[in-house]
Structure 1
């Protein structure tokens, strides 16, 4: 069953004359199912009125100032403030699950043809190596085909 959540997103990148990115930012707003229609209407009006995100960035506005304009006239408060960091959520177990998802036939081929199966995360470039024995162990996790 699909859950359609009313959402709005604004993204912007401020590019200098030399082509380098000097600032980037944005917002994602999703309403709660219990949100009152009048508040949703106010939010829509606010989002339609605000400048492009690149204009916020060009003016040097803070994330709090951007939120203030998006939620103008709507009671809200921040829950927490966290710094952004580059972090991938890949792990050896996730890669194992991805290999299992390839199916029995492909895993059997890997176990027979490849001494070492290397998998590289496309996001963080971490590399995971699996021996033939480890691929065989993954095959044992797959239910036998009937």
Structure 2
């Protein structure tokens, strides 16, 4: 596994932090959807955040969904993650293209104005649902605002995706750092100073790769290098390292259940058309085919 999430505490547990490297995950998503650089960056940033936020949940069956709905040309981005580092995501319009803004991919322009929704399904009667208004559409700032307003947890989120000239993913990763209610002023001052002086996430990843002093045989060394800068001078203690990957759990059986859910009338209309239908998974773009005979069996089950 090349992608990892590293969890840490600092300043005697006054701070908790997560960092992730997600190049392979984001490149896998790009390959599934043949997405443009802007769509790859938007989905990659949200998947990186989803991976880290997923590991914040405690139980194996817990599920997290992050959904961005904006009025920009990308149409929206959806990501789901579990507590074990498995993540999947897609955008409504993976072919979106916009001119660069200040020399960078204009993710904010692609997303536009809208709402971020966070759904946590933790096996309770009702899932937790939180909403916040998008601040920039650049995703990291929007999640920082979400944590502060919906969960009342002061946080800082950094996310980045860097593309190669051939539109493959060169670097991807991010961090989430959160302070506890009992944080001391001097600890908070040091953390704020560190964050103000940080390079962009992808620059930190590039610097890490170019460094000759970092042990690159260690799993998650890139994520640890990010946290060393975010938490400089704050007595970091690494507590956990989790592999993370793009993983879609779709199957023909699951798609069949989705077809049943659309209702008998629509299924009958598909049968009457007399053609094999194709249904694609939103998350991984895998195509599933159902013959008229299979649709007839599905219709019987729906009754």
Bin the TM-score by the shorter chain.
Answer: 0.5 to 0.7
Give distance in 1, aligned partners of 2:237 and 2:274.
56
Count of residues paired in the alignment: 138
1:113-132 mapped onto 2 (5 Å cutoff): 113-132=273-292
Asked if 1:26 corresponds to 2:187, the answer is no
Pairwise CA distance, 1:49: 4.2
What SS does the corresponding residue of 2:240 show, helix, strand or coil? coil
TM-score by length of 1: 0.65
Pairwise CA distance, 1:74: 6.8
Structure 1 residues 71 and 136: alpha-carbon distance in aligned structure 2, compared to 1, 3 A threshold: farther
Structure 1 residues 118 and 20: alpha-carbon distance in aligned structure 2, compared to 1, 3 A threshold: closer
Match of 2:129 in 1: 2
Match of 2:49 in 1: none
Residue-by-residue CA offset, 1:30-89 (whole Å, 9 max, x unaligned): 86xxx73245x849735454221122123135221113333452754242342x555432
TM-score by length of 2: 0.36
Match of 1:139 in 2: 299
Larger radius of gyration: 1
Match of 2:160 in 1: 12
- Counterpart of 2:180 (choices 16, 36, 43) is 36
- Counterpart of 2:240 (choices 79, 90, 94) is 79
What SS does the corresponding residue of 1:115 show, helix, strand or coil? coil
Give distance in 1, aligned partners of 2:169 and 2:276.
43
Give distance in 2, aligned partners of 1:116 and 1:64.
50
Match of 2:223 in 1: 63
Give distance in 2, aligned partners of 1:58 and 1:30.
21
What SS does the corresponding residue of 1:13 show, helix, strand or coil? strand
Match of 2:272 in 1: 112
Give distance in 1, aligned partners of 2:299 and 2:270.
10
Structure 1: gaps of 5 or more residues: none
Structure 2: gaps of 5 or more residues: 1-127, 131-149, 210-221
What SS does the corresponding residue of 2:238 show, helix, strand or coil? coil
Pairwise CA distance, 1:20: 5.2
Q: Which has the higher strand share?
A: 2
Larger relative contact order, structure 1 or 2 (CA cutoff 8 Å, min sep 6): 2
